[in-house]
Amino acid sequence: MDAQLPATAPISVGLPATVSEYTQVWPQPQPAPVRGRPPIKRIAVLTSGGDAPGMNAAIRSVVRTGVERDWLVFGVKHGYAGLIADDMAILGRRDVGGVIGQGGTMLGSARSAEFRAEAGRRQALDVLAGRGIDALVVIGGNGSQCGANALAEMGFPVVGVASTIDNDLVGSEITIGVDTAMNIALEAIDRLKTTASSHHRAFLIEVMGRDCGYLALMSAIAGGAEAVAIPEIETDPEAIGEKLRTAYERGKPHALVVVAEGAKYNAERLAAYFTENRERLGFDLRTTILGHVQRGGAPTAADRLLATRLAAAATEQLARGETGVLVGLNKNEIVATPLADVAGKRKPLDVGLVALAEVLEK
């Protein structure tokens, strides 16, 4: 049996929290193996689901901290689909050189309908056994960690690393990729404000996030938007129209609405509503949909450091035999949360931030 941790238990990874202290990280003490389980010699790492800026930094950290422990590290290509197909290769320190600043994932990612079935998962376990792999690190979001939990429930040692631009994952206040995606959205908002002010226009910008409004809400607050529409709160197009109208009455040269892609009135539906009711509302909206632009580009410093710390924590968890958990960040502490408490759940949005946005947009 794997050692069990309480929900969101703080863990030490031997990594300092500040950049200035990073020169003192290595060498790391080697924890004693868990009684009853042979010491780890081989691990595998995969990325799954939607790519997030910082995934490569996480892969790099898993490989180099694993090699430091004299482990053989396998990189699985194309997520769980590659695991089932035995599509993997040994990675060394030089194989992950130069990737820390690259977006996307060097291992690739893919959805796998086959893995959702028990037969597919057993095939994956057979592949791991055939390679002599002792444990697995899964870097990804909610769907990826559901897969990790399924393997853990079948008895295989797994540790998840919180990585999704949606920031909807239970067990981490912030996840890998969020900071980069938010800064891309913010840059677009700032640019649109410039042209909107020049022409005295109203603009609508849609950001990603699936059914979570975190990116939209935080981008709206940071970008000074006049209104925001998110899935967690019912959107009233008439109320949005009133907010834009009063913004012009207060003398603002522009008006900007930030919309989450999962909102009931997303960019397409909201723009259509304003077009259909243009004569009554008095104006229409110019629409910009960021889409997958938010996933691309180089990760920010914050995402590189977060990915590095979380991935190093994952190998520490494996070394201690404390598996079946997700490593995340809460109150600037790296914590471990049981995968069973993470899988299939969505982190609620802070309602206080919604109230703050309503105050600031006036």
Name the strands in the sheet holding 227-229, side by side, starting at the edge strand that comes first in the sequence. Answer: 227-229, 255-260, 202-207, 286-289
CATH of the domain at 47: 3.40.50.450
CATH of the domain at 212: 3.40.50.460
pLDDT at 198: 65
pLDDT at 28: 42
pLDDT at 251: 66
In a domain, 155, yes or no: yes
Same domain, 42 and 190: no
In a domain, 323, yes or no: yes
pLDDT at 37: 66
pLDDT at 18: 39
Calculate the dihedral angle through the C-alpha atoms of 10, 91, 305, 220, rounding to the nearest 10 degrees.
-100
Same domain, 66 and 100: yes
Active site residue 166: yes
Same domain, 154 and 252: no
Same domain, 185 and 221: yes
In a domain, 70, yes or no: yes
Same domain, 87 and 140: yes
Instruction: Give the residue ranges of the chain where pLDDT is below 70.
Output: 1-37, 196-200, 251, 253-254, 282, 284
In a domain, 222, yes or no: yes
In a domain, 353, yes or no: no
In a domain, 288, yes or no: yes
pLDDT at 249: 72
pLDDT at 360: 87
Same domain, 240 and 337: no
pLDDT at 267: 83
pLDDT at 55: 97
pLDDT at 36: 54
Residue type, 72: L
In angstroms, the Cα distances linking 51 to 124, 219, 244 are 21, 20, 35
Same domain, 104 and 29: yes
Domain containing 61 equals 9-176+299-341
pLDDT at 323: 97
Q: What is the pTM of this model?
A: 0.85
From the list 166, 168, 179, 303, the catalytic residue is 166
Q: Which tokens in the block code for residue 38? A: 């042979």
Same domain, 171 and 270: no
Same domain, 221 and 239: yes
Report the number of distinct structural domains present in the chain.
2
In a domain, 347, yes or no: no
Same domain, 31 and 169: yes
Q: Which tokens in the block code for residue 109? A: 């990612």
In a domain, 350, yes or no: no
